[in-house]
A and B are shown apart, each in its own frame.
Chain A
Amino acid sequence: MKNLGVFTRALRNVSRRKIRVLLVVVALSLSMAILVSIPAGIMANQEAAKELKANYEAYLGDIQEEIKEAYTLLEVRYASGDFAGGGGFPEVGSFPEGGGFFGGGGGRRPGFFRSENFFNESLVLEIEALEGTDAVIPFFEKTEGTNQTISTPFGTSIEMLIPDYTIVGVVLDNQIISYYNVLPNTILEGRNLEEGDTGTVLLSLNSTDYFGAGMGDPVDILGNSFTVVGIYDETDILGLNRVYMSLSEAQVITGCEGQVSSIDVYATNENVVDELALEISALDENITITTYETRLSGIEFRAEMAEENLELAEATLSQTQALAFQEIGIAIVATSLIVLFTMLYTVRERTKEIGVLKAIGFSNGNIMSQFMLEGVMISAIAGLVGVVIGTIAAPVLSTALLPPITGINSNSVNVTSFVGRQVSLPGLSLSATAAIPSVELLLLVFIGALLLGALGTLYPAWRASRTSPMEALRHE
């Protein structure tokens, strides 16, 4: 009860100079709003950066896996008439968004206008017998279509296959499926193929139109009935209608028992790759081998770009934080100075009053606490207003006060590849993270406002308390 009078008096003193208090509150609350917005923005940026980093790291991890695979992978293809198969396809540049390097949906890469030549399955066993092989994975691939005769302007005519769909046969072995990139990984509906599947197929999204079948429907392929267990997202630029099934069933329905179209050979380590390639070539005269050396530079380039981008994002983030600290510092100093000068002016203006209060028996402590209370009260009002403004304006203010971070404020990162093409790095898209101040932050800023108010008032209040009553009474 004793101090209630002081409190009421402080409140009345504060309300005595309404315009001044209003201006001070406006100025202070803007400072406070900045103090709310910047940390909120920084926190949001940090969250985004964390997400970005995780994305980059996952992406780099994938690339590392690819590189590792690429070093030890030997693609065994049929040599004659294969004019654009496997390794010969465009590598660097237009990577399909969201996908790996290895063709549509991450599954087997398809041949393009591949002549349908096959190896005998016994070749698999022969390669397995060689020293330095880790895994030997055969594939069967056959495009079904209709032969059409096309007339040329020169009076001749050529017969060519207009493809309807491609059957891809994969060894359905759990170990191979889980460890190697043999099946598409972009399942939209249903499930992927599994070990022991028979009479089941995985359709590409575009092939569902061709077959007029959906998830769980039966489809007729070359007179055999299959059930659709899954549909995957076909993002291949070639847009082939593809049908995945088990290797043996593919061989049977196409009448190609005991034949395979390509073999992926994984060497135990990259040092034996060259020797292994020679040994495999010696097994059959039709063999051509791609060791992916040509593709490596492209993959490495992507890894470099990703790393550079991550570094860039981290660098901008730390620059942003430095700037944020400066801005917070300025806001803190400004707040203290505004309170300091306002209270100094108030003390000066009320010198006579201080003299009177001292003459009627107020102690230095009474006077000091009176002014402290007034300063803190103004800061509290400003703090409340600032917290409200800050909560509403944080997303806008933080964007205005902090520089944008590359890769954080955009959905994907565009880089210029070494061949001068714009490349969009996949897998790095981020949802825009809005700066929303937490309750803790708001509370902290409000308490901060009180402390800054107290800090700014300390000197003026001390000066007021030290005023000589006699001199103060003479003051007009």
Chain B
Amino acid sequence: MSDLALKTENLDKLFKLGKREVRALSDVNLDIEKGDFVSIMGPSGSGKTTLLNVLGCLDKPTHGTVSLDGVNVTAVPEKALHKTRKHTVGFIFQTFNLMPWLNAVENVELPMEGTKMSKDERKKRARELLQMVGLSQRAEHRPHKLSAGEQQRVAIARALANNPAIVLADEPTGNLDAKTKYEIVRLLSKLNTDQGTTIIMVTHDRQVGSRASRMLFLNDGRLLKKERKGSHFMQLTCSHCGKEIQPDDTFCAGCGKKLGLDKEG
């Protein structure tokens, strides 16, 4: 087995809008090693989400191939793709997309349904994952009782449920305030370093993107040549006074107010 978690070759994606043809992806070649934390950045409409959908087997490329964990998934028939989505990929969405009528544990359990795990094993694993994302106290709460950040943590736990080879995050911080955004990025970063989870994160937020170990840039469906090493650092500002703060600060240096950041995160 190769060390590549994901490899794309000459990926093209065309959409037909009436008579007009729109090229959403154009000749995308991408190698992502296991354990990488890659952010794909670019302006709105640059094809970031399309790329993520193609990588996550939610959409088929017009040309080219996608290999996940050494398997060419573009050759997998539609009927069998759900297995790849279940076992190889974990999805994190901008709007969390939790099932509102299921509580946190049940939401995390959902992808494990239909696997060989017993109900007890599933429950146990879900609780472990919730503990990992720091939500063991909120396991029985339904999404509407959770804050946005907590909901995204549940979604992250859900994405990890079947131990996927790769986690795809589509604007995971897009619906969060600055403080929560930081918590979530730190959590993803921690998962990457501690668990070795391969993460591809699409974002248009430079601060968030810079936390990844690699930053790729997409424009007009093309992957730009320039690539940056991420800093694992993100410029944060105090939500009270707007001054720059350091990630590990408990109090704002400017206004002195408590920042309430999650030290664990």
A pairs with B: yes
Q: Interface on A for B, CB 8 Å cutoff?
A: 1-2, 4-6, 9, 12-13, 16, 352-353, 356-364, 366, 468-470, 473
Are B82's CB and A364's CB within 8 A? yes
Would you call B152 an interface residue if the criterion is a C-beta within 8 Å of the partner chain's C-beta atoms? no
Would you call B53 an interface residue if the criterion is a C-beta within 8 Å of the partner chain's C-beta atoms? yes
Interface-centre pick from B83, B86, B93, B159 (highest chain A CB count, 10 A)? B86
Contacts of A364 in B (CB 8 A): 79, 82
Given contacts A362-B82, A473-B93, contact A13 B53 (CB under 8 A): no
Q: A12-B102, A359-B93, A360-B158 are in contact. List 10 more A-B contacts (CB 8 A).
A: A2-B113, A4-B119, A353-B99, A358-B85, A360-B86, A361-B82, A362-B86, A366-B113, A470-B53, A470-B58
Would you call B247 an interface residue if the criterion is a C-beta within 8 Å of the partner chain's C-beta atoms? no
Are A1's CB and B110's CB within 8 A? no
Q: A369 → chain B, closest Cβ, in Å?
A: 11
Q: Which B-chain residue is minimally distant from A5 (CB atoms)?
A: B113
Are B99's CB and A356's CB within 8 A? yes
Contacts of B99 in A (CB 8 A): 353, 356
Q: A225 → chain B, closest Cβ, in Å?
A: 96
Are A361's CB and B58's CB within 8 A? no
> What's the Cα separation between A461 and B59 when bound, in Å?
21
Q: B123 → chain A, closest Cβ, in Å?
A: 11
> What's the Cα separation between A470 and B21 when bound, in Å?
19
> What's the Cα separation between A5 and B118 when bound, in Å?
11
Other-chain residue from A4, A356, A468 in contact with B97 (beta carbon distance below 8 A): A356
Contacts of A360 in B (CB 8 A): 85-86, 91, 110-111, 158-159, 161
> What's the Cα separation between A196 and B187 when bound, in Å?
116
> What's the Cα separation between A470 and B55 when bound, in Å?
12
Contacts of B101 in A (CB 8 A): 12-13, 16
Task: List B86-130 residues whose CB lies under 8 Å from chain A.
Answer: 86-87, 91, 93, 97, 99, 101-102, 109-111, 113-114, 118-119
A sample of 27 cross-chain residue pairs with beta-carbon separation below 8 angstroms, ordered by A number, consists of A1-B118, A1-B119, A2-B114, A5-B109, A5-B119, A6-B113, A9-B102, A16-B101, A356-B99, A357-B110, A358-B85, A359-B91, A359-B93, A360-B85, A360-B111, A360-B158, A360-B159, A361-B83, A361-B85, A361-B111, A362-B82, A363-B79, A363-B83, A366-B113, A469-B58, A470-B53, A470-B58
How many CB-defined contacts (below 8 Å) exist between A and B? 65
> What's the Cα separation between A206 and B58 when bound, in Å?
98
> What's the Cα separation between A6 and B161 when bound, in Å?
18
Would you call B162 an interface residue if the criterion is a C-beta within 8 Å of the partner chain's C-beta atoms? yes
> What's the Cα separation between A6 and B87 when bound, in Å?
19
Would you call B221 an interface residue if the criterion is a C-beta within 8 Å of the partner chain's C-beta atoms? no
> What's the Cα separation between A12 and B106 when bound, in Å?
12
Are B85's CB and A359's CB within 8 A? yes
Q: B138 → chain A, closest Cβ, in Å?
A: 20
Would you call B143 an interface residue if the criterion is a C-beta within 8 Å of the partner chain's C-beta atoms? no
Interface-centre pick from B87, B114, B119 (highest chain A CB count, 10 A)? B114
Contacts of B86 in A (CB 8 A): 360-362
Would you call B209 an interface residue if the criterion is a C-beta within 8 Å of the partner chain's C-beta atoms? no
Given contacts A358-B82, A359-B56, A360-B110, contact A352 B97 (CB under 8 A): yes
Are B58's CB and A359's CB within 8 A? yes
Q: A466 → chain B, closest Cβ, in Å?
A: 10
Q: B109 → chain A, closest Cβ, in Å?
A: 8
Q: Which A-chain residue is minimally distant from B83 (CB atoms)?
A: A361
Task: List B135-191 residues whose CB lies under 8 Å from chain A.
Answer: 158-159, 161-162
Q: B13 → chain A, closest Cβ, in Å?
A: 11
> What's the Cα separation between A16 and B102 when bound, in Å?
11
> What's the Cα separation between A363 and B85 when bound, in Å?
9
Q: B189 → chain A, closest Cβ, in Å?
A: 23
What string of 1s and 0s marks CB contacts (under 8 Å) between B42-85 and chain A? Answer: 00000000000100101100000000000000000001001101
Q: Which B-chain residue is minimally distant from A8 (CB atoms)?
A: B106
Given contacts A361-B87, A363-B82, contact A470 B93 (CB under 8 A): no
> What's the Cα separation between A4 and B109 when bound, in Å?
13
Interface-centre pick from B97, B111, B118 (highest chain A CB count, 10 A)? B97
Given contacts A13-B101, A358-B82, A361-B82, contact A473 B110 (CB under 8 A): no
Other-chain residue from B58, B83, B113, B162 in contact with A358 (beta carbon distance below 8 A): B58
Q: Which A-chain residue is minimally distant from B82 (CB atoms)?
A: A363
Shortest 8 CB-CB distances between A and B: which pairs?
A361-B86, A363-B82, A360-B111, A356-B97, A361-B85, A470-B58, A470-B59, A469-B58
> What's the Cα separation between A357 and B99 when bound, in Å?
9
> What's the Cα separation between A277 and B22 when bound, in Å?
114
> What's the Cα separation between A364 and B77 when bound, in Å?
13
What string of 1s and 0s marks CB contacts (under 8 Å) between B235-257 and chain A? Answer: 00000000000000000000000
> What's the Cα separation between A366 and B109 when bound, in Å?
15
> What's the Cα separation between A428 and B91 when bound, in Å?
79
Interface-centre pick from A12, A356, A357, A361 (highest chain B CB count, 10 A)? A361
Contacts of B91 in A (CB 8 A): 359-360
> What's the Cα separation between A356 and B97 when bound, in Å?
7
Are A473's CB and B58's CB within 8 A? yes
Contacts of A357 in B (CB 8 A): 110
> What's the Cα separation between A366 and B110 when bound, in Å?
12
